[in-house]
């Protein structure tokens, strides 16, 4: 039960970080579109594909194999993100104040 509390906190960090990341890649006039596409892919399409193929994969290869492959994919994505972020010469947007509403 205690691990479920950490899951909620981790999702809060994921949600806020992903909104900021998508915002940094979009122009002011396309921010809403980018956020909508990101949400549709991660929560809609990702859930459908992940649930279907994850179940098929577990039936054929077993859960430990699936979790190992997911670990490798996450590690690869993190490494590629770090490399692309270091190679990027894109200027960061500076914010002067925090707007909550």
Instruction: Answer whether 0.75 is exceeded by the pTM.
Output: no
Is the pLDDT assigned to residue 101 strictly greater than 50? Answer: no
Q: What is the pLDDT of residue 12?
A: 85
- Spatial contact of 24 and 93, defined as CB atoms under 8 Å apart: yes
Looking from the CA of 28 toward its CB, the CA atoms found within 13 Å total: 1
What pLDDT, in 10s, does the model give residues 24-81? 888 889 999 999 998 888 888 888 888 888 889 999 999 999 899 989 999 999 999 8
Q: What is the pLDDT of residue 72?
A: 95
Quote the mean pLDDT of the chain.
83
Q: Which long-range contacts (CB under 8 A, 24 or more apart) does 40-46 make?
A: 42/18
CA distance 38 to 43: 8
- Alpha helix (H) ranges present in the chain? 2-25, 31-39, 46-61, 63-87
């Amino acid at each position: 039960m205690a691990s479920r509390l950490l899951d909620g906190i981790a999702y809060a960090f994921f949600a806020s970080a992903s909104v900021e990341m998508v915002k940094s890649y979009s122009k002011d006039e396309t921010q809403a579109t980018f956020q909508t596409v990101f949400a549709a892919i991660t929560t809609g399409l990702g859930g459908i594909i992940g649930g279907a193929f994850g179940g098929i994969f577990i039936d054929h290869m077993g859960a430990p194999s699936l979790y190992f492959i997911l670990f490798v994919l996450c590690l690869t994505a993190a490494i590629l993100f770090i490399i692309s972020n270091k190679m990027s010469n894109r200027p960061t947007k500076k914010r002067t104040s925090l707007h909550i509403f």
